[in-house]
Chains A and B, each alone.
Chain A
Amino acid sequence: MSEPDISAEETDGRAAATDEANVEPESAGAPADTPLRVANLRKTFGGIVAVDDASFAVEAGSLTGLIGPNGAGKSTTFNCITGAHKPDSGRVEFQGERITGLRPDQIANRGLVRTFQIARSLEEMTVLENLMLAPKGQIGETLWRSVVPGARGKVVAQEEELRERVWETLEFFEIDHLAGQTAGSLSGGQRKLLEMARAMMTEPDMLLLDEPLAGVNPTLEHKLLARIHDLQDEGYTFLLVEHDMDVIMQHCERVIVMHQGSVLAEGEPSVIRNDERVIEAYLGEDV
Chain B
Amino acid sequence: MTGESGSGPESGGDPPGDGSIRAVFADMFGRIERSDVLIVATAMVAVYTLFMIFVLLRLGITTGTPNAIASAWRELTFLFAAYAMLALALNLHWGYTGLFNIGVAGFMAVGVYTMALLSTSPDAVSGQGLGLPLPIGVIGGMIAAALVGLVAAVPALRVRADYFAIVTLGLSEIIRLSLNSRTLSDWTRDRFGFATGGGSGIDLPARPTDALFDTAAGEALIDLFVVRIGGEEVTLVAASVIRRFTWALVMLGIMIGFYWLLRRIGYSPFGRVLKSIREDELVAQSLGKDTRIFKIKVFMLGCALMGLGGILWQGSQGFVSPDSFRPIVTFYVFVAVIIGGSGSNTGSVVGALFFVSLLFLAPRRIGGIVDARLDLIDAPGTFAGAADPLVSVFNAEPMLAYTIDNISALQFILLGIVLILIVQNRPDGIMGHRTETAAAVDLNRPNRGEEDE
Contact = CB atoms under 8 A, between A and B. Distances in A.
Interface of A: 82-84, 103-106, 108-109, 113-114, 116, 120-126, 128-129, 132-134, 136, 138-143, 145-147, 149-150, 152-157, 159-160, 163-164, 166-167, 176, 179-180, 182, 198-199, 202
Interface stretch (B281-289, B309-317, B357-365, B413-421): B281-289
Given A84-B286, A153-B23, A157-B16, A141 B275 contact: no
Contact of A126 (B261, B282, B437, B445): B437
Interface stretch (B136-144, B266-274, B386-394): B266-274
Contacts of B13: 156, 160
A154 B288 contact: no
Given A105-B285, A123-B279, A132 B16 contact: no
Given A140-B440, A143-B301, A159-B439, A82 B286 contact: yes
B264 A132 contact: no
Contacts of B275: 122, 124-125, 129
Contacts of B439: 128-129, 132, 159, 163
Interface string B285-308: 111111100100110010000000
Nearest to A136: B288
A108 B288 contact: yes
Contacts of A164: 446
Contact of B343 (A124, A146, A153, A179): A124
Nearest to B23: A153
Interface residues of B, number: 50
Given A128-B439, A149-B27, 8 more contacts: A104-B285, A122-B279, A124-B343, A141-B294, A143-B301, A153-B17, A156-B16, A182-B435
A105 B290 contact: yes
Contact of B14 (A126, A156, A163, A166): A156
A145 to B, nearest CB: 8
Nearest to B297: A143
Nearest to A170: B445
Interface of B: 13-19, 23-24, 27-28, 261, 264-265, 268-273, 275-276, 278-280, 282-291, 294, 297-298, 301, 343, 435, 437-441, 443-446
Given A120-B282, A143-B297, A129 B289 contact: no
A122 B286 contact: no
B287 A134 contact: yes
Contacts of B438: 125, 129, 132
15 contacts: A105-B286, A108-B287, A116-B283, A120-B280, A125-B272, A125-B438, A129-B438, A132-B443, A133-B284, A141-B294, A143-B297, A143-B301, A146-B269, A149-B28, A150-B18
B433 to A, nearest CB: 9
A159 B269 contact: yes
A124 B282 CA distance: 15
